[in-house]
Amino acid sequence: MIPVSSPVFNGNEKKYLEECITSGWISSEGPFVERFEKKIAEITGRKFGAAVSNGTGALEIAVKALDLGPGDEVIVPSFSIVSCAAAIVKAGATPVLVDCDLKTFNMNAREVSQKITPHTKAIMVVHTYGLPCDLDEILMLAKNHKLKVIEDAAEVIGQSYKGKMCGGFGDVSIFSFYANKIVSCGEGGMILSNDEKIIDRCRSLRNLCFIPGRRFVHEELGWNYRMTNLQAAVGLAQAEKLSENVLKKRQMGKSYQTELAGFTKIRSPIGKTEYAENIFWVYPVVISEEASQTADEVITALKAQGVDARPFFYPAHLQPVFQKMGLFKGETYPNSEFLARKGFYLPSGVGLSESDIKNVCRALKTVLK
Ligand SMILES: *Cc1c(COP(=O)(O)O)cnc(C)c1O
């Protein structure tokens, strides 16, 4: 089976992990946590980073650190991982959805502007599958309406928008270091900001909001979302390899595009826009009208051919959990719905070889009817 994603550990991972074991520092108190935070901040051009246990937790802390709560509306794309809308709901705030573009899979400023009301307090910008959102106009809207911006850059570490690194935009940004992300430490996440007060608040929130000097006394409820020294050790080693892995990702994307050129039963992703070159976190494809199958059917057929593919996101407005809460009643976002039915992504890990890519494309051409 060609896996959908497999991490590659060919840097300092082993060496740093050995340092953890030898020194006995395995908890979040160990020195790699701060080194990893500094490294990611440096990569993204941010002043500060706060490492946490996963990207979902990073979003929850980011929402809380910006004081978003009951009565506040936060604009967020329907086409994303559940973590985005969930972080808003869990804070007691209201997620307000926008649809995505069929070709870039990202939200756009026009739809965001239509959803701004007197209650809007923030925009959660999510970069999807490898191309960043077209940020200029969205950031301008936020400025004009005095809205906070959370940038979810989980999928695009190493990507840039008009030459400035993703993860460097908005009041806060977040990353995930889950196993399939471009920098990975198994499970992990980070919140970044240039505002020291916000980052101090994030650090408190990730650590149960212990009061300095009065441990075990709490004026606010936080989480235990700490990252361990072991995770940070692997994360740092991965971050050192980022530019190399970004090159590999882009090369993988180009190979897929070449292999699939002229194959009209699917639509390949855009290689570049005027603001960014695709980083191909994954290689997302959309089944065209010429083929009658759904993404689920193609994924099953690919599995029988030894290729592991994954479906696109399931839109937030259709999520049973949110519908049961009475959210998004009667709302439709046709592009998100279409992509959920017809989109899937092909094996895309950094460890993928050129011959793997050829085999995946051969299988794809066999199964699409
Ligand atoms: C992966 C991902 C997350 C969540 O990260 P976890 O570490 O898996 O919790 C959040 N947002 C986006 C866009 C992601 O792709």
Q: Whose CA is nearest to atom 14 of ligand 1?
A: 154
Query: What is the 82 CA–ligand 1 centroid distance (Å)?
Result: 9
Residue nearest to atom 3 of ligand 1 (CA): 55
Closest CA to 316 of 74, 54, 63: 74
* Angle made by CA atoms 325, 191, 207, in degrees to the nearest 5: 80
Atom from ligand 1 closest to the CA of residue 187: 7
Per the CB < 8 A criterion, the answer to whether 127 and 80 are in contact is no
pLDDT of residue 223: 98
Q: C-alpha distances in angstroms, 274 versus 111, 134, 271, 283, 323?
A: 20, 9, 11, 20, 38
Predicted pLDDT at 63: 98
Ligand 1 centroid from CA 114, angstroms = 26
Pairing of strands 343-346, 310-311: antiparallel
Q: Would you list the DSSP string of 339-369?
A: HHHHEEEE---TT--HHHHHHHHHHHHHH--
DSSP state of 217: -
189 CB under 6 A from ligand 1?
yes
Please give the pLDDT value at position 4: 95
Is the C-beta atom of 60 inside 6 A of ligand 1?
Answer: no
Instruction: Give residue 197's pLDDT.
Output: 98
Instruction: Give the per-residue pLDDT at 30.
Output: 95
Which atom of ligand 1 is nearest the CA belonging to 126? Answer: 13
DSSP conformation class of 227: P
CB 315 within 8 A of CB 336: yes
For ligand 1, say whether the CB of 54 is within 6 Å of any of its atoms: yes
| Residue of 78, 178, 238 best suited for mutating to test ligand 1, as the one with most atoms within 8 Å of CB | 178
Pocket test for ligand 1, best of 176, 227, 313, 314 (most atoms within 8 A of CB): 176
The response to whether residue 83 sits with its C-beta less than 6 Å from ligand 1 reads yes
Main-chain phi, psi angles of 22, to 5 degrees: -65, -40
CA of 63 to the centre of ligand 1 (A): 15
Residue with CA at minimum distance from ligand 1 atom 6? 55
Q: Does residue 85 have its Cβ closer than 6 Å to ligand 1? A: no
> How many whole angstroms separate alpha carbon 9 and alpha carbon 232?
14
> How many angstroms separate the alpha carbon of residue 55 from the centre of ligand 1?
5
Atom of ligand 1 minimally distant from the CA of 80: 13
0.85 surpassed by pTM: yes
- From residue 316, how far is each of 103, 120, 130, 189 by CA, in Å? 19, 19, 20, 22
- The answer to whether 71 and 91 have CB atoms below 8 angstroms apart is no
With a 6 Å cutoff on the Cβ, whether 5 touches ligand 1 is no
Query: For each of the chain's 369 residues, which pLDDT tens digit applies?
Result: 999 998 899 999 999 999 999 999 999 999 999 999 999 999 999 999 999 999 999 999 999 999 999 999 999 999 999 999 999 999 999 999 999 999 999 999 999 999 999 999 999 999 999 999 999 999 999 999 999 999 999 999 999 999 999 999 999 999 999 999 999 999 999 999 999 999 999 999 999 999 988 889 999 999 999 999 999 999 999 999 999 999 999 999 999 999 999 999 999 999 999 999 999 999 999 999 999 999 999 999 999 999 999 999 999 999 999 999 999 999 999 999 999 999 999 999 999 999 999 999 999 999 998
Tell me, what's the pLDDT at 215?
A: 86
Q: Which residue among 54, 82, 83 is best mutated to probe the pocket of ligand 1, counting the most ligand atoms within 8 A of its Cβ?
A: 83
Q: Are residues 93 and 63 in contact, defined by beta-carbon separation less than 8 angstroms?
A: yes
Q: What is the pLDDT of residue 187?
A: 98
Of ligand 1's listed atoms, the one at least distance from the Cα of 177 is 7
Phi, psi (deg, nearest 5) at residue 191: -110, 135
d(CA 7, CA 155) in angstroms, rounded, equals 15
In this predicted structure, what is the pLDDT of residue 212?
86
Pairing of strands 310-311, 266-267: unpaired
**3-state SS class at 285:** strand
| pLDDT for residue 237 | 98
- Comparing CA positions, the residue from 269, 315, 343 lying closest to residue 80 is 315
Pair of tokens at residue 123: 């925009």
